[in-house]
A and B are shown apart, each in its own frame.
Chain A
Amino acid sequence: MNDPNAFILVMVVILGLGFDFTNGFHDAANAMATSIATGALKPKVAVTISAFANLLGAFLSLAVAATIAKGIVDQNAVTIEVVFAGLAGGIAWNVTTWYLGIPSSSSHALIGGVMGATIVHAGSTAVIWKGVTSKVLIPAILAPIIAALVATAATWLAYRVTTRAVEKVRTAGFRWGQVGTATLVSLAHGTNDAQKTMGVLTLALVANGTISKAASTPDWVIISCALAISLGTYMGGWRVIRTLGKGLIEIQSAQGFASQASSAVVILSSTHYGIPLSTTQVCSGSVVGAGLGRAQPVRWSVFGRMVVTWLLTLPAAGLVGAATFAVINGIGGDLGVIVMAVALAAFCAGIYVLSRQSTVDAGNVNDAWGAQGRRARRAVVRVGTK
């Protein structure tokens, strides 16, 4: 351990795995919220299937690119401190939005954190603003719209075709369809998101000179990232699952299947064309589309809160990333890293304590929306007035 950066490198690995955990925790909803809400799967069974699919997906994704926010910030400006601060911003935003029960993109949170840290480190010229627009902002606007259009058509057809089918066969069939499509989305999540954190850790190792640029990702990085995201998924971000499954519309299994199939197809076709559409925004848009396709009321206030959260993701995570970097730089050395790691841990612990005031778990995740919604809002007001 004569490497002067050994300590911060270890901290980056811990934060990276922590971010990966919140990523799985937060995004379990994308794959499983609708299946849980319609009763196609029991809550615990759903997150278990999703966790295994994530694990499998993470191990099957072979080509890990040692990058973070490539095409969005100048890669020469990315130091190990920037990576640390970026991860801190991503974690802080993921934990906050989990508490509020809002599905929000983990990738965008990480990008925001890295952008903030980069601006403090190397100035705003190190941010490729064109990349921000074309890789984050515009896809963020289009993802939910595209998904909603697809899901509207799919839902309308699903109901239209099966109006005369026997109810028992219809419900069972759509529930099986839900399980299949939800597993597909979980697999896709494992291949995409686990790989991103593997890339971040590999980048940190390369930047530190621990491994050479040409070296492939070490096995322990692949294994630990795969386990972290799967464990997060298994823990189930029940607050987010609840909002996506119960908050937007009162969902039936035909709609759950149609929306999840739409999400899977949109995610896979965007993967194919190399357009970074956020899984979270796609899945949220699909659920809205499932409501529209059946001409049933959508709780636009809930969707509106999601959109506001999506708009705030880059600046909010960016501020945390910037502040983290500034403090580390200001204090300097390992002490700065320790101070910010402790601050982040305290923040997460605080949010966890707050969340205990209105616990959402596998037992009450499917409760009727109104009452719990009011409780959650009261909790938010309490936070606001403190």
Chain B
Amino acid sequence: MMRVLADSYVDWASMWKILVISVCVGAGLVAVYAVGLRALSASGYLRVGEDQAQPKRNAFVLVAAIICIAIVAAGALYGLNVMFDK
């Protein structure tokens, strides 16, 4: 069993990199996108429906939301680059 788990069988270094990068980038981009949505709903520029109080418009918050979503879009484009670069 231990022999199977040795480095010659498994590229542990790459596995660890995949795990760490995926947690940082994957969870990170999801969090950034979530912040973007949070900011978007607080910006007051989107109609939120009749039953809820419309937040006051705030251009700064809107720009922050757009930046967050743009970061995630850039991440997706970088992903495409990795995909076709292979």
Contact = CB atoms under 8 A, between A and B. Distances in A.
Contacts of A266: 18, 22, 26
- Tell me whether chain A's interface is mostly helix, strand or loop, or mixed: helix
Interface range, A side = 35 or more
B86 A271 contact: yes
Nearest to A155: B30
B84 A269 contact: no
Contacts of B10: 134, 138
Contacts of A155: 30
Nearest to B84: A60
A157 B30 contact: yes
A302 interface: no
Contacts of B80: 184, 187
B17 A261 contact: no
Contact of B26 (A165, A173, A261): A261
B31 A191 contact: no
20 contacts: A130-B8, A133-B4, A150-B22, A154-B30, A154-B31, A157-B34, A162-B34, A162-B37, A166-B41, A166-B49, A168-B48, A168-B49, A257-B33, A261-B30, A262-B26, A264-B76, A265-B29, A269-B17, A273-B11, A273-B14
Contacts of B2: none
B34 A146 contact: no
Interface in A65-87: none
Contacts of A187: 80, 83
Leading 6 A-B pairs by shortest Cβ distance: A265-B26, A161-B34, A166-B41, A169-B41, A173-B37, A153-B27
Given A154-B27, A184-B79, A165 B41 contact: yes
A264 B21 CA distance: 12
A275 B46 CA distance: 43
Contact of B27 (A170, A262, A272): A262
Contacts of B14: 273-275
Interface string B1-44: 00010001111001101110111011101110111111011100
Given A158-B30, A262-B27, A268-B83, A169 B22 contact: no
B48 A169 contact: yes
Interface residues of B, number: 40
A100 B62 CA distance: 48
Interface in A285-343: none
Interface of A: 57, 60-61, 63, 130, 133-134, 138, 142, 146-147, 149-151, 153-155, 157-158, 160-162, 164-166, 168-170, 173-174, 177, 180-181, 184, 187-188, 191, 254, 257-258, 261-262, 264-266, 268-275, 277
B2 to A, nearest CB: 13
A268 B78 CA distance: 10
Contact of A169 (B8, B17, B46, B83): B46
Contact of A269 (B25, B36, B72): B25
Given A181-B76, A261-B29, A268-B83, 14 more contacts: A57-B83, A146-B19, A150-B22, A158-B30, A161-B31, A161-B38, A168-B49, A184-B80, A187-B83, A191-B84, A257-B33, A262-B26, A265-B21, A270-B18
Nearest to A188: B83
A150 B36 CA distance: 20
Contacts of A164: 38
